[in-house]
């Protein structure tokens, strides 16, 4: 019997995100530097008599009523490409806030795809998976790669980035769900300059200071609580505080794990209803095989 497979679905953090144009179909062209964090959801795939999908963890309740979770859609997509495959029990441990700009559903679906490819021992190169999964969401390609990268186009053009140091950060979400399409619609300018070239080692802080998240201004206009999260990160010592994706999760960068942990504790004590966690970026998502 195949072993149970556990796959990390890391939080996706847009360290910088410039909106550079719009396609005729309405999707926006992006230029974004993305890193992935230790903090994340977990997808477990196990042998079963029949297909099942269950959700547990701190944010499970918010998802259970949703008919259209991306994880079973990812499973069905693999069967569409491959043909019949044995039944599986999939469990999603939902640790990250829902609809919050840090990958969420896309990272879960990508982790499910990675786990199922291993579970069923499918010989799919990542390029095949990426092309097949794009209809599930524009963030799927970056989440399938789950390593530091530039993403361009609507997210389907991936350029891996080597050698970025691990970044200590605090993720802070003020508990407000922001609808991505509304944020894109509220953009004042859709034709912004692309990201500058990444400098060699040591220049990241200056590079970050030169860049933005273009979705931050429209998101703050729709959800002013995002400003509170950014202020809390800055007030607790973040060297940079910025929103990720279309929000509302914000990240603050810190010089050390200790400083990030202290800031996270202080912010959580002051804002008990927020999602706050200290974490750090990873080189790539890891996978464990449980026996
Ligand atoms: O593809 P995804 O489900 O993540 O996108 C949600 C919505 O966000 C899209 O329907 C679209 O309105 C908007 N979007 C966009 N440009 C992108 C990604 C998303 O306009 N690159």
pTM of the model: 0.95
pLDDT, tens only, 185-236? 999 999 999 999 998 777 899 999 999 999 999 999 999 999 999 999 999 9
Catalytic residue among 31, 41, 108, 139: 139
* Tens-digit pLDDT profile for residues 186-195: 999 999 999 9
pLDDT at position 286 is: 62
Q: Which pLDDT score is estimated for 287?
A: 58
Ligand 1: residue whose CA is nearest its atom 11? 181
Residue tagged 């966690």 (tokens) = 277
> Whose Cα sits closest to atom 13 in ligand 1?
181
Atom number, ligand 1, closest to the C-alpha of residue 138: 1
Integer Cα distance of 109 and 243 in angstroms: 23
pLDDT score of 275:
97
Ligand 1, pocket-test mutation among 17, 28, 66, 141, most atoms within 8 A of CB: 28
Q: Whose CA is nearest to atom 8 of ligand 1?
A: 181
Contacts of 66 (CB under 8 A, 6+ apart): none
Measured by CA distance, the residue closest to atom 20 of ligand 1 is: 27
What is the DSSP track for 207-234? Answer: HHHH--BTTHHHHHHH-THHHHHHHHHH
Mean pLDDT of the chain: 94
Distance from Cα 48 to the centre of ligand 1, integer Å: 35
Could you read off the pLDDT of 253-270 as tens digits, one per residue?
A: 999 999 999 999 999 999
Q: Which residues line ligand 1 (CB under 6 A)?
A: 27-28, 30, 137-139, 154-155, 180-181, 184
Q: Give the three-state DSSP class for 278.
A: strand
- Residue 127 pLDDT level (bands cut at 50, 70, 90): confident
Say whether 139 is catalytic: yes
Query: How many angstroms does the Cα of residue 59 sit away from the middle of ligand 1?
Result: 23
Alpha carbon of 158 to ligand 1 centroid (Å): 17
Distances in Å between the Cα of 283 and the Cα atoms of 6, 36, 83, 109, 259 are: 18, 8, 33, 20, 21
């Amino acid at each position: 019997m195949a072993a149970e497979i556990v796959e990390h679905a890391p939080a996706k953090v847009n360290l910088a995100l410039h909106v550079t144009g719009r396609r005729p179909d309405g999707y926006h062209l992006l230029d974004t530097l993305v890193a992935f964090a230790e903090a994340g959801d977990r997808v477990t795939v196990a042998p079963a008599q029949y297909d099942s999908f269950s959700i547990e963890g701190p944010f499970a309740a918010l998802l259970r009523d949703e008919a259209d979770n991306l994880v079973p859609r990812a499973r069905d997509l693999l069967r569409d490409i491959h043909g019949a495959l044995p039944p599986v029990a999939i469990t999603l441990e939902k640790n990250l806030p829902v609809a919050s700009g840090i990958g969420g559903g896309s990272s879960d679906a990508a982790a499910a795809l990675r786990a199922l490819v291993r579970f069923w021992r499918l010989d799919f190169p990542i390029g095949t998976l990426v092309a097949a999964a794009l209809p599930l969401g524009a963030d799927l390609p970056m989440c399938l790669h789950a390593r530091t990268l530039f993403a361009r186009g609507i997210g389907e053009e991936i350029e891996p980035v080597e050698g970025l140091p691990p970044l200590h950060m605090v993720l802070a979400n003020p508990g407000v769900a922001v609808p991505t399409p509304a944020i894109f619609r509220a953009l004042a300018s859709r034709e912004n300059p692309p990201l500058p070239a990444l400098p060699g080692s040591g220049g990241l802080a200056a590079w970050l200071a030169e860049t933005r998240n273009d979705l931050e201004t429209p998101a703050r206009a729709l959800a002013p609580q995002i400003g509170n999260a950014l202020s809390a990160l800055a007030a607790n010592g973040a060297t940079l505080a910025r929103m990720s994706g279309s929000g509302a999760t914000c990240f603050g960068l810190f010089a050390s794990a200790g400083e990030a942990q202290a800031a996270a504790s202080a912010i959580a004590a002051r804002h008990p209803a927020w999602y706050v966690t200290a974490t750090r970026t990873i080189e790539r998502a890891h996978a464990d095989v449980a026996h």
